[in-house]
Amino acid sequence: MRKEKACFFEHNTLVLQVSGQFTLETANQTISMQSGEMLLIGKNQLGHITKTPLPPKGLYETIVITLQEDLLRKVVLEEQIVIQQKYTGPHNIHIPGNDFLQGYFQSIVPYVRNPQKEMLNTLGILKVKEAVKLVLHAMPELSGFLFDFSEPYKIDLEKFMHSNFHFNVPVERFAQLTGRSLAGFKRDFQKTFGTSPRQWLMERRLTEARHLIEKKKKPSNIYLDLGFESLSHFSHSFKKKFGKTPSAW
């Protein structure tokens, strides 16, 4: 099993699982899928991805299709789609399989396995459009999900940070996801927490680490999940704050 670092999904993303198991963990959801399943991931999200090869062959293969907004806007215009209401469901959705999607799933594999072909750029755009249409055919209610072109609104800073502090992303990304400029984010952060974002993030992560270690969690198993880039950096920061290394705590 191999756990990736934190990912930022800037655009809506369709994931097709060819082999192995794909698991996405966000602040509000944990969702997994295996061979033949599809997942629609919402834009402007932070998440951890775990890639797990499965027996008998121990293989792992995923196809990721990024649904960029300029292309989605073209689909709206070409198909004259009218959004009836704003989407309010979960940010990550299993797409139920059907004959059309399974056929699409099989047709996309050669494109991914032969990326050097010059014709793929034009045909690739057509395949992305086809994916959008088939998702809407399977779940028409997702039009509000796919075609929401609004910017992130200014959200509750304190609630967001307590839910997402463990993601190892730049402060600029946190600012964007809370609907603020970097300067506005730092200003609101100081008012809310009484300190800088970087200082608060370090303190919050170390406090959570101590809590987990006291619950018998191994330092080597938690440092990545808490946003530290290396075990040595985590151990040094932990000892500096608490006077002992994580293993000695």
Provide DSSP, 162-211.
Answer: HHHTTS---HHHHHHHTT--HHHHHHHHHHHHSS-HHHHHHHHHHHHHHH
Question: What tens-digit pLDDT sequence spans the chain (249 residues)?
Answer: 566 667 889 899 999 898 999 999 998 899 999 988 899 999 989 998 999 998 888 889 888 889 988 888 888 877 787 777 788 899 999 998 788 888 888 888 787 777 665 545 667 778 888 889 899 889 988 999 999 887 777 888 999 999 889 888 889 989 988 889 999 999 999 999 999 999 999 999 999 999 999 988 898 888 888 888 889 999 999 999 989 888 887
In a domain, 152, yes or no: no
Please tell me the number of Cα atoms within 13 Å of 34 on its side-chain side: 6
Looking at residue 1, what is its pLDDT?
A: 58
Looking at residue 212, what is its pLDDT?
A: 92
Looking at the fold, whether 6 and 86 belong to one and the same domain comes out as yes
Looking at the fold, whether 133 and 224 belong to one and the same domain comes out as no
This prediction's pTM: 0.77
3-state helix, strand, coil in the chain (%, to 5): 45, 20, 35
Q: What is the largest CA-CA distance in the chain?
A: 63
Looking at the fold, whether 94 and 17 belong to one and the same domain comes out as yes
Looking at residue 210, what is its pLDDT?
A: 93
Q: How many domains does the chain have?
A: 2
Range of the domain at 19: 2-146
Looking at the fold, whether 17 and 137 belong to one and the same domain comes out as yes
One-letter amino acid of 217: K
Looking at the fold, whether 219 and 185 belong to one and the same domain comes out as yes
Looking at the fold, whether 172 and 126 belong to one and the same domain comes out as no
